[in-house]
Amino acid sequence: MQLTNRSKQVSNKQMTFAERIYLPAIATGLGITIKHFFQKKVTIQYPEVKQFLGPVFRGRHVLKRDEQGRERCTACGLCAVACPAEAISMVAAEREKGEEKLYREEKYAAVYEINMLRCIFCGLCEEACPKQAIYLRHDEFVPVFTERDQVIWGKDLLAENMNNRYLRKAWTKEEAREQDLKGVEAEPRTQL
Amino acid sequence: MTETAVAPKDTADLAQGEKVQYVNELTTLNLGPTHPATHGIFQNVLTMDGEKIVAGEQTVGYIHRAFEKIAERRPFYQITTLTDRMNYCSSPINNMGWHMTVEKLLSIEVPKRAQYIRVIMMELARIADHIVCNGILGVDTGAFTGFLYLYEKREDIYEIYEEVCGARLTTNMGRVGGMERDLSTTAIRKINDFLKTFPPVLKEFEKLFNRNRIFMDRTIGVGGISAERAMSYGFTGPNLRAAGVDYDVRVMSPYSSYEDFEFDIPVGQHGDTYDRYMVRNEEMWQSLRIIEQAMKNLPEGPYYADAPEFYLPPKKEVYRSMEALIYHFKIVMGEIEAPVGEVYHAVEGGNGELGFYLLSDGGRTPYRLHFRRPCFIYYQAYPEMCVGSTISDAIVTMSSLNVIAGELDA
Amino acid sequence: MTIDVALIIKAIIILLIFGITLLIAMYSTYGERKVAAFMQDRIGPNRAGPFGLLQPLADAVKMFFKEDFIPSQASKWLFILGPCLSMLTALMTSAVIPFGDSVKYESAPGKVWDIPVQAIDVNIGILYVFGVVSLGVYGIMVGGWASNNKFSLLGAIRAASQNISYEISMGLAIIAILMMTGSLSIRHIVEQQHGGNWNIFYQPLGFIIFITCAFAECNRTPFDLPECETELIGGYHTEYSSMKLGFYLFAEYINMFVSSAMISSLYFGGYNYPGMDWVQAQLTSSLGEIAGHNVGTLIGTLVFFAKSLFFVFFYMWVRWTLPRFRYDQLMNLGWKALIPLAMINIILTGGAILFLKPLIVSFLK
Amino acid sequence: MLTNQSVAEEIIRKFGDDVFDFEEPFGMLTFSTTREQIIPMLDYLKAHPQFQVNFLTDIMAIHYPDRVGQEFCVVYHTHSFIHNFRIRIKVFLAEADVHIPTATGLFASANWMERETYDFFGILFDGHPNLKRILNMDEMDYFPMRKEYPLEDPTREDKIDALFGR
Amino acid sequence: MTQDIKIVEAPEGYEGSGFFATSFDKVVGLARSHSLWPLPFATSCCGIEFMSTMASRYDLARFGSERPSFSPRQADMLLVAGTIAKKMAPILKQVYLQMAEPRWVIAIGACASSGGIFDTYSVLQGIDRVIPVDVYVPGCPPRPEQILEGIMQVRELTHNESLRRRNGPEYQALLASYNIQ
Amino acid sequence: MDFSSFLNNLTPATGFFYFLSFLTILTGLMVVLSKNPIHSVLYLIATFFCLSGHYVLLNAQFLAAVNIIVYAGAIMVLFLFVIMFLNLKQEDEESKTNLTKIAAMVTGGTLFLIFVAVFRKTQFGAFNAYSFDSQVGMVESLGEVLYKDYLLPFELASILFLVAMIGAVMLGRREAGDRHF
């Protein structure tokens, strides 16, 4: 049935004599594979060589702290709502006197847990966060687990380590776009 | 599945239709659900006379995940993550299809640039989808190597995805109202690189298979279906086109500026495996053409629509202005009411017409969301296509149909 | 005493032949994986030892310590017999292949022993190989049937019909060679191809038929229907685990090596190579009669291995390039293409021997 | 080119009072009919020399627990390739009587779509050759897509309400 | 190959002039860890990522694991990649039962490990409901790198496992808790 | 002649002969006695091997090889093939009526009588070591006899085979419009 005038017949089932006797096509095929035999291999030797995963890769979560090391999270719960896997849970608490060094906002997450096996790394929590608190690291994965009871990560694992801070080129996509337009060199996709 | 000690069912029951006198004893072969050739998961109970199939019946639902039920509990923007996992070989098409459905419901006009970016992503996804299908067809006919050559290029597509959205397979790409981020210079470079490096690889793949008599013998006349039966069985996409009907949603009811692009609709002759293979192959070339055109004519401008109620405001605004913060909260909580109405939107997915039938009662979630999943609809023709052929044919037919379990079982 | 030493040398040669056959088969598995990887732009095994050289060892040890599973519904003895038969027949074949010329040993002055580098030189060597190869299918059939699994049975049935069909054209292809050489002894055939006078130049068609049939007899792609993974999971060895599986896989590689050795013996002159007379003369003149001869034999043997290994590589090369046939196409090819071709080849050869040869001989005179 | 107006008029002329509730949401001709008329309707559209609505895009159902007497709605999406014209037909059914004739005689594709609809909503397609569950397990004793049934897996043990964050 | 890759190290043992002794367990463990044949039980998205892992760029073959054994008898590790619905669970269990000891199980991805986003009536909430799991790989789907991490974790387990573990009472108790004899 | 002296006089060749004969008869009996047809076929193959051994003892290497190639290698494979296809197992055990049993007894008894009669009349030829031609069973002498004395029957037989083969191929030919297989 012809519905449009853009159709194009593509399949030709008539074989020529050369095709009929198998050998030329086989020889071509063998030629292609032997060519690849001597070509450079594309394999990345993974555990030793690590590849850069792109500036916006959605890896493991981190609860950012600000410059003074205070937690940014204010336990608003937007990330938990935005999570399609319902993997995030938190308990909010009021900041007490003397805790200003620990928490930036007046409310903070006393408990912040992510079920790492439920998480689908969709990035919606990062997008939902109004406080620049939760990020998905572009340079690290969640490690593998051997026990089911290791999988719920609390703040001890999620909160950023001040000695080994998580850095990234741009913290929002607008920022990334500005830098991109300015021509800030993108990180090369090679070894990490 | 190696366990074949199935209770010998009354095989005559399986041979639906007229009673045939079989000289030989019939055996029942359980193909799947974990047979390597079923890739995804479905079971084919084949009744065989020697190596010849006399009847078949499929059992599906082995990864039924209740997408439609979940969709009734999730705000619109979270449903994107569901569509990712439907046809996971070409998730961006699903993502975009869903966004366009919602945009249709909300009557949002998406700017040209976003539309073009979407087209680029969708065509990349189509290439990725067809790579898997044609590569696997190669694997199932016994030639593994060609598949890996193509798969290398698929990794390049993944890199582009990663640059655009941050994930490889389940992309969660795009947002209601546009794209979540613009194409970065790296992404543009990578797409251009891909446009340059993919054709030689595809040519090589074609040289390995297209005119190789072993492959042609394996596929020509195998699993054929007439255009009429194909229409009756609800075939769409490459499988219908292979039968000779040039139905393509991109041309018939253009969406996302497809009317701007110049491309052909490849069609086959008899709807057999070779036709399907050739059509998919040609579609990859056509997709490349579309991407080329889109990259060349990529308009400047915003990459998201001016719809503050639905598109998340820039983060900077959120930190600064109260209004943006309120919108931000409302959008994330899913509290912005959608209009009441019903909308059907179809896109040309990797396997055919991927339809979204969205019924909204004005709440934060769809009242009912139905996916028209092409795989589910055409897979029922499989017994008819493989009866009378051998088990090898049945397997080749199955892989050329490109049945994606996630899409099949919802 | 003197006889004993000769016997010991013979025994060493026999042991070496079997040892080398096993070793080559073992490293063929590694080679297969590396070749596949390289053709697919990958690297292949490289963690077990330098360049992954210990990979076959790791596989073997693992298989030895894997649970040996006998399905409850299988017939136990036949289930065990299957892989044993496969391995036995595969190993038996290498006995009559001449790996090299001969080793000379002077036990006493003037008393020189001439020991061929071959396990046994039967004067019906080809028939022996043929007979043993035709038995190889029993291992597959018995194993496949005993597994009590439909996929295995299908694999076994395919193997049986395939092997029988391709044996015929293989035999017919060899007959053309026999017509040329007039001997059934493989050593004779090899010796007649002295220097660069290889049969491939006289029998190109026969060679193509033979190698196709060899692929089919070894169940290698494009004829790997008995085990093809995507259709029959593992075919006849679906139910096998542990070392019994190892035997099956191993037998396949031994068969591959043996048939490569046959190809190089029958069509590529075995241990002969162009200019070998000159090399031999140089060696004898520089090293002395006996030592020179032995070194010459060694070089010949190495040449033979190089040829055989090339064909082993060719097997792998083809496997990772071509799609496989369908069952009926395979039968069609065997019965409708190869057998008539082989017959035509015989007629042509006969004609050439009867008419062309005297013509050329008289012309040269 | 077919217009919604002309097609609707033609259908009304043919079926009279059996078609009602004409709508055009987002340009697609939508109307309702009765279950007695649905198969003749599909047949008519398919055989119509001009319309040639010969492609069944989709069959699905909707559950409206609040509409008494019209709890279930079966929706047919049909498509005329020649004119690129889509029609949506709805049939409302009461919960007490969820029978509707099958369309498998007209479209082979209706087979599984109807089975799926049965599986999800329990709608009985009379005359269907093989009306049994397709996606869910045969042992399942309810129709999961009906609004009253929960989504979540009831056996999930690690489900603490606190985890949901809302 | 300019980069140094970590190849196998000789197992711990006693070395003297001309001899090297090590425990049998270690040698076997070492061999096993370099020859883990996977049985890909790939049902959905993660299966595609597993294909990537097998493909040229990540090349599972480097660890000697490229031979997929679709027959459970021959496989050493079961890679469950993708959603396992309740309809599928008995089949998964059967495949596990058909595997020959020693066997390891990796749950790849959120769905196989815990059900992921599919907390629904039809999806099994983690395959550890039906079979014992050795390694969970998070991610939806995990990147090939993560799948490789998971496989390397299994290699670690294999390497250090005692030959007698599979006959030990602890293991029997574990199996018994899943109603597996 | 008592048994020990018999053993003492046994040359390797005769010893081998007795051993092979014993095996031949044993496997031959097992062919008949096995309940499972597959086992019967396998015993039959073993019988052929023993017979080939006898040929070798007779210095008829060609016949030995051909016996294995043709009978064990091809015909028995087909036997096995057919039996596997028919999937005969323990069924049909009761189907033997008294009539069949009687008929079988009569036939068997007659055959036995004929054998006895034949053996009674048989005269063993004297073995003369000097006039014995060791090459009589070799390929060359066989070829000479076949192509000189029995040329016509040989050629006729080969034509018969050729015709049969071509006929088989023709029968297997696909009719136009027929689906393959």
Q: Domain total for chain E?
A: 1
Q: What is the Cα D134 distance to its own chain's centre?
A: 17
pLDDT at D158: 57
Percent of chain B with pLDDT over 70: 91
Helix-, strand-, coil-residue percentages of chain C, each rounded to 5: 70, 5, 25
Contact E110 A117 (CB under 8 A): yes
Contacts of F179 in chain B (CB under 8 A): 388-389
The domain that holds D30 is classified in CATH as 3.30.460.80
Question: Sorting pLDDT into bands at 50, 70 and 90, what band is C109?
Answer: confident
**D61 within some domain:** yes
Is residue B131 situated within a structural domain?
yes
Does B232 contact D at CB distance below 8 Å?
A: yes
Q: In the structure, what pLDDT confidence band is assigned to residue B400 with cuts at 50, 70 and 90?
A: confident
pLDDT score at F176: 47
Mean local confidence (pLDDT), B69-93? 86
Mean pLDDT for all residues in chain F: 79
How far apart CA B296 and CA A165 sit, in angstroms, is 41
Same-domain pairing of B42 and B179: no
Amino acid A192: pLDDT:
42
Which residues on chain C are in Cβ contact (under 8 Å) with E73? 69, 238-241, 245
pLDDT at A191: 45
Please check whether residue E21 touches C, CB under 8 A. no
- Asked if the model's pLDDT at residue B19 lies above 50, the reply is no
Is E105 a domain residue?
Answer: yes
- In the structure, what pLDDT confidence band is assigned to residue B9 with cuts at 50, 70 and 90? very low
Contacts of residue B407, defined as CB under 8 A and 6 or more positions apart, other chains included, come to: B86, B87, B351, B373, B374, B375, B376
Q: Judge: C41–B391 Cβ closer than 8 Å, yes or no.
A: no
pLDDT digits (tens, 9 = 90+) for C188-235: 888 888 877 888 888 888 899 999 988 888 888 788 877 777 677 777
Domain boundary among B59, B75, B92: B59
Q: Give a yes or no: residue B385 inside a domain.
A: yes
Q: What is the mean pLDDT of chain D?
A: 84
Q: Where are the beta strands (DSSP E) in B181-233?
A: none
Band the pLDDT of E10: cuts 50, 70, 90. low
Lowest mean pLDDT among B385-394, C4-13, C130-139, C236-245: C4-13
pLDDT-derived band at F173 (thresholds 50, 70, 90) equals low
For residue A186, pLDDT over 60 is answered with no
Residue F109 has pLDDT above 90, yes or no: yes
Answer whether D30 sits within 8 Å of B342, measured CB to CB. Answer: yes
- The region, left, alpha or beta by phi > 0 then psi within -120 to 50, assigned to residue A100 is alpha
The pLDDT of residue A102 is above 70: yes
| Closest of D120, B162, F87, E177 to residue A51, by C-alpha | B162
- Give residue F126's pLDDT band: very low, low, confident or very high (50, 70, 90): low
**B212 and B308 Cβ atoms separated by less than 8 Å:** no
* Chain D residues touching residue B72 (CB < 8 angstroms): 151
**Chains touching chain A, criterion 3+ CB pairs below 8 Å:** B, C, D, E
Predicted pLDDT at C334: 83
B154-181 pLDDT per residue, tens? 888 988 888 888 888 888 888 888 888 8
Give the other-Cβ count within 10 Å of E12's Cβ: 9
> Averaged over E74-83, what is the pLDDT?
86
Helix (H) or strand (E) holding C339: helix C339-351
If pLDDT is split at 50, 70 and 90, which confidence band does A55 have?
confident
The string of pLDDT tens digits covering residues C25-68 is 888 888 888 888 888 888 888 887 788 788 888 888 888 888 87
Instruction: Report residue B183's pLDDT band, with 50, 70 and 90 as the boundaries.
Output: confident
| Rounded Cα–Cα distance for residues C96 and B313 (Å) | 82
Which runs of consecutive H residues, i.e. helices, occur in chain F?
A: 3-8, 12-33, 37-57, 61-66, 76-86, 98-121, 139-148, 151-171
Mean pLDDT of all residues belonging to chain B = 83
- Cα–Cα distance between D8 and D22 in angstroms, integer? 8
Given CB atoms, is C40 within the 8 Å cutoff of chain E? yes
Between A79-88, C69-78, D111-120, E50-59, the lowest mean confidence (pLDDT) is in C69-78
**Is D96 a member of any domain?**
yes
Tell me what the mean pLDDT of segment B374-397 comes to: 85
List, in order of start, the domains of chain F with CATH numbers: 3-90+131-171 (1.20.120.1200)
Pairing of strands B265-267, A7-9: parallel
Share of chain C above pLDDT 90, in %: 1
- Over the stretch E101-112, which tens digit does the pLDDT of each residue have? 788 889 988 888
Residues of F in contact with B388 (CB under 8 A): 179
pLDDT computed for residue F110 by the predictor = 94
Q: Is D152 an interface residue toward E (CB < 8 Å)? A: yes
**Domain membership of residue D92 as a residue range:** 4-149
Proportion of chain E above pLDDT 90, given as a percent:
0
> pLDDT-based confidence at F156, cuts 50/70/90?
very high
What is the structure's pLDDT at A190? 46
Mean pLDDT of chain A: 82
Per-residue pLDDT at C1 exceeds 50: no
Distance from C-alpha of B384 to C-alpha of C340, rounded to nearest angstrom:
37
| Measured distance CA(B278)–CA(B268) in Å, rounded | 8
- Given a cut of 70, is residue E117 above it in pLDDT? yes
Reported confidence tier of residue E48, pLDDT bands at 50, 70, 90: confident
F5-26 mean pLDDT: 82
Top pLDDT among B363 and B297 is at B297
- Report if residue E100 sits inside a domain: yes
Is B271 inside any structural domain?
yes
- E43 to chain B, any CB pair closer than 8 A? The answer is yes
Domain for residue B318, yes or no? no
At residue E64, the pLDDT reads: 82
**Chain D residues with beta carbon closer than 8 angstroms to that of E121:** 144, 149-154
Do the chains contact at E34 and C55, CB–CB below 8 Å? yes
Looking at residue A184, its pLDDT comes to 65
pLDDT score for B15? 34
Residue F107 has pLDDT above 90, yes or no: yes
Q: Which member of F72, F84, F138 has the closest CB to residue C145?
A: F84
* C110/F120: higher pLDDT: F120
B44 and B124, same domain (yes or no): no
Tell me the mean pLDDT in the region A62-89. 84
Rounded to an integer, the average pLDDT of B205-217 is: 87
Q: Are residues B28 and B165 in the same domain?
A: no
Nearest CA in chain E to D143: E121
Q: Determine contact, residues E89/E124, Cβ cutoff 8 Å.
A: yes
Q: What is the pLDDT of residue C183?
A: 80
Mean pLDDT for A131-145 is: 85
**How confident is the model at residue B251, as a pLDDT?**
87
Q: What are the distances in angstroms from CA C163 to CA C4, C37, C248? A: 42, 29, 16
The kind and range of the H/E element at D31 are: strand D29-33
pLDDT of res. F70: 82
Task: Using a CB–CB cutoff of 8 Å, tell me whether C222 touches chain B.
Answer: yes
Q: How confident is the model at residue F160 (pLDDT cuts 50, 70, 90)?
A: very high
Instruction: Inspect the structure and tell me whether chains F and E have 3 or more CB pairs less than 8 Å apart.
Output: no
* pLDDT computed for residue F1 by the predictor: 54
Average pLDDT of span D90-119: 89
Name the CA dihedral angle for A142, A147, A151, A155, rounded to a multiple of 10 degrees: -90
Q: Edge to edge, what strands does the sheet with B368-372 contain?
A: B341-349, B352-360, B368-372
Mean pLDDT in residue range E71-98: 85
- Tally the domains of chain B: 2
Residue B323 lies in a domain: no
| Residue B235 counted as domain residue | yes
Chains interfacing with E (3 or more CB pairs < 8 Å) = A, B, C, D
The boundaries of the domain holding residue B113 are: 67-305+338-409
Is B122 in the same domain as B20?
Answer: no
Burial group, residue C129, by CB count within 10 angstroms (0-12, 13-18, 19+): buried
Q: What is the mean pLDDT of residues E42-56?
A: 85
Model confidence over C302-316: pLDDT tens digits?
888 898 889 999 988
Assess: ipTM above 0.90: no
- Please report the pLDDT score of residue F113 as a whole number: 93
pLDDT tens-digit series, residues F34-67: 877 888 888 888 898 888 888 888 877 788 888 8
Specify the higher pLDDT residue, E22 or D70.
Answer: D70
**Closest residue to E41, CB basis, from B34, B82, B409:** B34
Lowest mean per-residue pLDDT among A71-85, B150-164, C95-109, C268-282: C95-109
- Taking alpha carbons only, the member of C128, C125, C136 closest to residue C163 is C136
pLDDT recorded at residue F87: 61
What value does the mean pLDDT take over residues C60-86?
81
Q: Is E97 annotated as a binding residue?
A: no
Q: Which of C41, C43, C322 sits opposite A36 (nearest CB)?
A: C41
With an 8 Å CB cutoff and a minimum of 3 pairs, decide whether chains C and B touch. Answer: yes
Q: Which of B179-183, B296-300, B392-396, C105-109 has the lowest mean pLDDT?
A: C105-109
Predicted confidence band at C296 (pLDDT cuts at 50, 70, 90)? confident
Q: Are residues B93 and B41 in the same domain?
A: no
F86 interaction partners in chain B (CB closer than 8 Å): 25
- Per CB-CB distance under 8 Å, the chain F contacts of C74 are none
Dump pLDDT digits (tens) for C346-358.
888 888 888 887 7
User: Which of B33-47, C69-83, C137-151, C321-335 has the lowest average pLDDT?
Assistant: B33-47
Over pLDDT 70: what percentage of chain D? 92
Return the domain boundaries, chain C: 2-364
Mean pLDDT on E131-159: 87
Whether F contacts A, i.e. 3 or more CB pairs less than 8 A apart, is no
Terminal Cα distance for chain C, rounded: 52
In percent, the amount of chain A with pLDDT more than 90 equals 0
Q: How far apart are the CA of E53 and the nearest CA of chain A, in angstroms?
A: 10
A-contacting residues in E 106-135 (Cβ below 8 Å): 110, 113-117, 119, 126, 128, 133-135
Domain count, chain D: 1
Please check whether residue E69 lies inside any domain of the structure. yes
Rounded to the nearest angstrom, the minimum Cα separation between B376 and chain A is: 23
CATH number, domain containing residue E132: 3.40.50.12280
- Are E84 and B63 a contacting pair at CB < 8 A? yes
Go through the domains of chain A in sequence order and give each one's CATH number: 61-182 (3.30.70.3270)
pLDDT score of B8? 33
